[in-house]
Amino acid sequence: MYDTALMLARIQFGFTVSFHIIFPAITIGLASYLAVLEGCWLRSRNPVFKQLYEFWSRIFALNFGMGVVSGVVMAYEFGTNWPEFSRFAGSITGPLLTYEVLTAFFLEAGFLGVMLFGWKRVGDRLHFFATVMVALGTLVSATWILASNSWMQTPAGYEIVDNHVIPTDWMAIIFNPSFPYRLVHMVLAAFLSTALMVAASAAWHLLKGNDTAAIRKMLTMAIGMLVVTAPLQMLAGDVHGLNTLEHQPAKVAAMEGHWRNDEPGAGVPLLLFGWPDNDAETTHFAVGIPRLASLILTHSWDGTFPGLSEFAPDERPNAAAVFWSFRIMVGLGLLMFVLGIWGIWAWLRGQLFHNRTLLRFALLMGPSGLTALLAGWFTTELGRQPWVIYGLMKTADAGSNHSTSTMVFSLVLLVVVYGLVFGTGIRYLLRLISQGPDQNIDTTLSTIRPTSPSDMHPGE
Amino acid sequence: MGIDTALIWAVIILFGVLLYVIADGFDLGVGLLFPLAPAKEDRDRMMASIAPVWDGNETWLILGGAGLMAAFPLAYAVILNALYIPVLMMLIGLILRGVAFEARAKASSNSRHWWDKAFFTGSLLATFFQGVILGAYISGLPVENGTFSGHALSWVSPFALFCGLSLIPAYALLGSTWLIMKSENSLQQQMRRLSKPLIWLLMGFILLVSLWTPLAHESIAECWFSLPNLFWLAPLPIFTALACLGLLKMVDRGEAGPFVMTLIIMSLGFLGLGISLWPNVIPPAISIWQASAPVASQGFALVGALLIIPVILTYSAWSYYVFRGKVDMEDGYH
């Protein structure tokens, strides 16, 4: 494969997978949110929960559809773009993907029909069961695909025979060294992204003067979620980073823009700003806090970790891309933490629904979860380069023999179709959000008990 | 080693693809029939009849891809590499129609017609290119040293394009008989009228493909026309012909009968193709055993497949049962 065609294949895969991951991330978060909303409604019969369920399930349905069709592309792209990878390692990634289809995709698809269209036909209990099954399916799906991706980052439980990977220990393959960290980090990211989207929707309505019980409930639930998950995510990210340092030190060196260690005892600074340069083997314009990277990564003032110059030049990732995508993720993560704390503080003082500065901030932070999630994936995937399977197979050896013109044709076609179809789909999604929950939803069956604990919030 | 995991996996993948062909076949078929039912109410009904199930139907296609990668990674790599463009076009078709389900319901009345067009065009693209993929696959893929050795347009041949065309009446007939079962009154009458010419068209295409395939592919001719195979296999075309005639008779009055009969015809046709290609996973020369993944991979995935597929079939059947009977607009998009 020529270099241009290889680069086009990578761009195409990066484009389609980045587009795709947005939808399942929201699917994972919204499915669990919907299960909680329906559970609350069944328990309290507070119509607000039913209104919110109906509202978010419409958005969920559209988002889910886009996730499915953009995902079918992924299941085939491993073969169309990366046949040598599939030939070499399909014996491992294939069974993991098969288990994902069997235990997750079918579960989601099988119960989705009942969840979206079957409430009247099956009644409350079975419908709730269907919602829970869909939510469970999204989490199971995340588990398998992250096992597969993590195996590519930190391969384990295999041997290589005749230039093929042969699985020797499936438990070691699935529970490979980076898997638990990546799974927790990704699921939290999905929950955070969804909470931020819900909070921004509520903030938008409140800023517009659409102040209803359902909108308020949305905001408090989202802020509650945020204040719990944002700190947890920082903790998860920290231990994930330590794990990466142990198994993929070149990635961490690129994340920190760290090229070489100074004299013993000086420690490694945490760079806030800079432009890592692979050719010059240095980070230009570096502004950092002395010793902080040592403290974070080695838990000591003068600890050191390998710099990028200790790796062969053709085994280094593009440091500038990894450095900056990592900083975007961390920076947004800190802002999420601020929003959560500020929101809870305002809520306790009874100002959450009236503080326009806070509401504007929440609105602005709406896409930050997904942006941080994408930046995090860029960090980990670009940080793995030049390997497609870390230490085993280089990306340059994984591709096809398609010509540059074929790859240009397919990339242009995909960009146009994705832009039109998913662009319009996302526009509809935003329009649905802007319509807000329907207050006149038929809840005649419900016995309203407005005194349930979840309704008692100070400041309402 | 006592158990032939490659053989079992080949059967599972064939079963998965068959379920895909008949299940997504009828909902792709509904998309193909869209231009013939211009009234919005009819289109809403057609859409509502498949809305709760299309996603599950399409999942069999993903199982086919994933199962192929797990059990026969060499075949997965070669086939998708060789059929890059038709696979891409099929996927784009599936995107267009998949998003149309939800987007059509959420579009304003001014822009809905765009999603109607996307639904039809997507269904047509997916159907045609699935047929092309099948035809190109039957014709065989050039392989050297375990890697596809052709070029980006190796798949183009009159036979492959013809197979693409023949899948259109097949899926359309699945769609029209599905709608006979799920609809009432004028829409049902229209589907009955439409089904007749579709049956004749499909019979013509089946006949031509059945003649063309052995004529163009010597090994397939040998499989069918050598003795004693001829006697063992003779019932297959005979049953297919009988089923087509039976379908012609019942299409005027049956409710579920025409759909069931179409399913039988499709299954028989699929069986015929399977027999023609057996035991190759990359025609014309690489068998399932040559392309096999290590036993550790096939065995691991097999445990899950054998335990879970029955469960999947059970809850999928439950979902169809929940939405049984004539389509109720109460169930549709709100």
DSSP A292-326: HHHHHHHSSTT-----GGGS-GGG---HHHHHHHH
How does residue B332 score in pLDDT terms, banded at 50, 70 and 90? low
Q: Quick one: pLDDT at residue A78?
A: 87
Banded model confidence at residue A457, pLDDT cuts 50, 70, 90: very low
How far apart CA A236 and CA A280 sit, in angstroms, is: 33
**CA angle, corner A25, sides to A64 and A150, nearest 5?**
125
pLDDT of residue B333: 58
- Residue B306: pLDDT band (50, 70, 90) is very high
Inform me whether the pLDDT recorded for A445 exceeds 70.
no
Select from A60, A117, A107, A127 the least CA-distant residue to B49.
Answer: A117
Q: Would the CA dihedral through A154, A158, A161, A164 be positive or negative?
A: negative
Distance, in angstroms, between B161 CA and closest chain A CA?
20
Q: Which domain holds residue B87?
A: 5-331
Q: What is the pLDDT of residues A3-17, one digit of tens each?
A: 888 999 999 999 999
How far apart, in whole angstroms, are the C-alpha atoms of residue B27 and residue B60? 13
pLDDT on residue A458: 37
Mean pLDDT for B190-202 is: 93
Mutate to test the interface with A, among B50, B60, B182, B319 (most CBs of A within 10 A): B319
Q: pLDDT at position B217, please?
A: 85
Domains identified in chain B, total number: 1
Residue A33 has pLDDT above 90, yes or no: yes
Which among A82, A91, A412, A413 is the top mutation candidate for probing chain B, defined by the most B β-carbons within 10 Å of its own β-carbon? A91
pLDDT for A455 equals 37
pLDDT digits 0-9 by tens, B96-116:
999 998 888 888 888 889 999
Nearest CB neighbour to A95, from listed B51, B70, B315: B70
Chain A partners within 8 Å of B74 (Cβ): 87, 90
Other Cβ atoms less than 10 A from the Cβ of A127: the count is 19
Name the residue facing A421 among B61, B69, B96 (closest C-beta). Answer: B96
Question: How big is the CA angle at A148 (ends A410 and B81), to the nearest 5 degrees?
Answer: 30
Tracing tokens 């930046």 back to the chain, one arrives at A375
Phi, psi of B140 (to 5 degrees): 100, 150
The predicted pLDDT at position B330 comes to 62
Per-residue pLDDT, B24: 93
CB neighbourhood size of B306 (10 A): 11
Q: Is B165 on the interface with A (CB under 8 A)?
A: no
Q: Is the pLDDT of residue A167 over 60?
A: yes
For residue B233, the number of C-alpha atoms closer than 13 Å in the C-beta half-sphere is: 19
The whole-number pLDDT of residue B331 equals 59
Higher confidence at residue A448 or residue A325?
A: A325
Name every chain B residue with its beta carbon within 8 A of the beta carbon of A413: 88, 92
Q: Are strands A270-277 and A164-167 parallel, antiparallel or unpaired?
A: unpaired
Average pLDDT over residues A206-214: 93
How near does any CA of chain B get to the CA of A223, in Å? Answer: 29
Show the tokens assigned to B143: 């392989």
CA–centroid distance for B67 within its chain: 17
What separation, in Å, do the N-terminal and C-terminal C-alpha atoms of chain B show? Answer: 56
Which residues 49-68 of B have a C-beta within 8 angstroms of A?
51-53, 55-56, 58-59, 61-63, 65-68
The reply to whether B79 touches chain A by the CB within 8 Å rule is: yes
pLDDT of B162 above 80:
yes
Q: Which two tokens stand for residue A70?
A: 């953009």
Name residue, tokens 């990732």: A317
Q: Please give the pLDDT value at position B106.
A: 86
pTM over 0.95: no
- Using pLDDT thresholds of 50, 70 and 90, give the confidence band for residue A1: very low
Burial of A385 (0-12, 13-18, 19+ CB in 10 A): buried
Burial class (CB in 10 A: 0-12, 13-18, 19+), B321: exposed
Q: Is the pLDDT of residue A361 over 60?
A: yes
**CB atoms < 10 A from the CB of A229, how many?**
24
Contact A400 B81 (CB under 8 A): yes
Residue A444's pLDDT is 43
Distance from CA of B157 to the nearest CA of A (A): 18
Q: How far is CA A80 from CA A23, A267, B80, B87, B164, in A?
A: 22, 46, 5, 8, 20
